[in-house]
Amino acid sequence: MVLERIQQTIEERQLAGPDNPVLLMVSGGSDSTALAYIATELRERGVLGPLAVLHVNHQLRGADADADAEFVRQLSEALNLPFFLVEVNVGALAREQGENTEAVARSERYAAARDALESLCRHTSHPVSDGRIFTAHTQDDRVEAFYMRSIVGTGPGGFRSMRYTNGAVARPCLDVSHQGLRDYLARYALDVEAGDEKPLVRDSSGALWREDATNAHTDRFRSYVRHEIVPKALDRNHQLLDVLSRTMNLIADEDDMLDAWAQKLVDEQVKWENLEDVTPTCLILPAFAKVETPLQRRMVFEVLKRMLGPEARVETASVDAVLEGFADGAPVSGYTNNIQGNLALSANKQGLKIEPMESYRLRRKPQ
C-alpha cells in the first residue's frame, strides 16, 4: 500500500521518471531507510532511473553518528547503489559562523546533495537538469511544520507547509505517514524472513533502522511540536494527517496560482543587472506601487529568493523593508535600508534598487 501510494505521488506529480537520475538522502532513520528500499523497488519497476545514496555525517553525536554512516554504507552496498559519504563538523562551523546548528546542518546537507547529484549525473551521462534529490519527508513532517508556522507566524503560502518539489529536491513520501513507512519496513523484513530473496540490512543491535536519541527530546521546537502538540491534535481527530494534508494541498493550489501571477508581474516590473555575479542587482520599477499588497509581498519574496539563493529563508522583515520603499503609489525618494544578506535598498523616482552593500557603497563613493 505504501509503495503504491508513493509510486502514485511520483507519477501524478511528475517528481521523477525513468530518465531521471535520483540521489536519495539517507540518514539511516526509519523514513529514509524505507525510502531507499522503496526507490530500489520502483527502479526495478521502471518508474525511476539510476539511483545513488548520500549520507551526511554531521559529527554531532560521536560514535553514534559514525554507526549511522556505517549502517547507510551497508544498506547502499546491499541495494547495489553508489554511496556518497560527506563528513562535516557542523558544530564547529556553527560556532565559527555564529549560526544555529540545525540551520548550518541543513545548509551543508543540501550543498553536499547538489555536489553528489552533479557527480551522479556525470557518471550516468545525464544533464544535471535531469537529476533529482529525494528526501523522506512524510505527512508527519508536513503537519509538524504547519503547527510550527502556526505558532511563530508565516508569510505568503507558508501554510502549504512543504512543497512536493523545490527545484531539484522532491519529496515523494509526503502522502504517507511516518508510521506507514515503519510498517512498510516491518512487512519487508517479514517477507525476507519468509524466504523472499530481497536485500535486508540490520544494524549491530538487529534494528531495521538507526534511531536518533535526540528525536525524543522536547527542547527543540520541532521535537516539542512532535511530542506535545501533534499527539493532542491526533486525540481529537485520528485522521488528522490525512485531513491536514488535504487542507494543505488546497492551500497549495491557490498558492501556485498566486505565485504564477506574482512571477508574471516580476517579469514585467523588475529589471536585473549583473546577472553573472553571485548576487545580482535589481531595480523594482515604480509600477510596483500600484500592485495589490498581497501580490507585492509575493513579488518581493521571489526577487529576494533569487538574490539570496534557493536555500535561503527570506525574512519577513526583509520583505517589509522593501515594501516601505513605496508609498502613495510611488517609490519613496531618498529611502535607504539594509536587509539580510547585507543587501542595500535605495529608492528614487526610477524605482527601488536592491544590490549588494559593497556595490551600493562603490556607487555612492565620491569620485
Arithmetic mean of pLDDT, 41-58: 97
Tens digits of per-residue pLDDT, 148-196?
999 998 877 889 999 999 999 999 999 999 999 999 999 999 999 999 9
Q: Would you state the cell numbers that stand for residue 365, as one nine-digit string?
A: 563613493
Mapping DSSP onto H, E and C, the string for 211-256 reads CCHHHHCCCCHHHHHHHHHHHHHHHHCCCHHHHHHHHHHHHHHHHH
Tens digits of per-residue pLDDT, 273-305?
887 777 889 999 999 999 999 999 999 999 999
Tens digits of per-residue pLDDT, 298-329?
999 999 999 998 767 889 999 999 999 999 99
Q: What is the mean pLDDT of the chain?
A: 93
Residue 363 pLDDT class (50, 70, 90 cuts) = confident
Tens digits of per-residue pLDDT, 323-345?
999 999 999 999 999 999 999 99
Residue 94 pLDDT class (50, 70, 90 cuts) = confident
Report DSSP state, residue 249.
H
Report DSSP state, residue 182.
H
Residue 100 pLDDT class (50, 70, 90 cuts) = confident
Q: Which residues contact 15 (CB under 8 A, 6 or more apart)?
A: 9, 132, 134, 164, 165, 170, 171, 172
Whether the pLDDT of residue 118 is over 70: the answer is yes
Residues in the chain: 367
What share of the chain has pLDDT > 70, as a percent? 97
Q: Which residues contact 197 (CB under 8 A, 6 or more apart)?
A: none
Q: Picking from 35-49, 93-107, 225-239, which range would have the lowest pLDDT averaged per residue?
A: 93-107
Query: Taking Cα atoms as reference points, which of 169, 199, 173 lies closest to residue 41?
Result: 199
Q: 81: buried, middle or exposed (CB in 10 Å: 19+, 13-18, 0-12)?
A: buried
Identify the pLDDT of residue 102.
83
Report DSSP state, residue 228.
I
- What are residue 105's phi and psi, to 5 degrees? -60, -45
Q: Would you state the cell numbers that stand for residue 58, as one nine-digit string?
A: 554531521
Arithmetic mean of pLDDT, 235-258: 96
Q: Would you state the cell numbers that stand for residue 173, as one nine-digit string?
A: 513520501
Residue 208 pLDDT class (50, 70, 90 cuts) = very high
Whether the pLDDT of residue 198 is over 90: the answer is yes
Q: Which residues contact 268 (CB under 8 A, 6 or more apart)?
A: 287
Whether the pLDDT of residue 212 is over 90: the answer is no
- Calpha distance 255→261 (Å, rounded): 10
Q: Return the ∠ at Cα 289 (arms to 287 and 292), rounded to 5°.
A: 110
Domains, the chain, in order of start with CATH, read: 2-245 (3.40.50.620), 274-364 (3.30.465)
- What are residue 351's phi and psi, to 5 degrees? 135, -165
Q: Would you state the cell numbers that stand for residue 55, as one nine-digit string?
A: 549520507
Whether the pLDDT of residue 218 is over 60: the answer is no
What are the angstrom distances between the C-alpha of 258 and each of 14, 49, 237, 306? 21, 33, 31, 18
Whether the pLDDT of residue 215 is over 80: the answer is no
Q: Picking from 78-92, 152-166, 253-267, which range would have the lowest pLDDT averaged per residue?
A: 152-166
Whether the pLDDT of residue 271 is over 90: the answer is yes
Identify the pLDDT of residue 221.
87
Identify the pLDDT of residue 99.
82
- Calpha distance 306→39 (Å, rounded): 31
Q: Would you state the cell numbers that stand for residue 319, as one nine-digit string?
A: 520583505
- Calpha distance 228→155 (Å, rounded): 24
Do residues 2 and 33 lie in contact, with contact meaning Cβ atoms separated by under 8 Å? no
Give pTM, 2 decimals.
0.85
Identify the pLDDT of residue 104.
87
Q: 190: buried, middle or exposed (CB in 10 Å: 19+, 13-18, 0-12)?
A: exposed
Identify the pLDDT of residue 131.
97
Report DSSP state, residue 130.
G
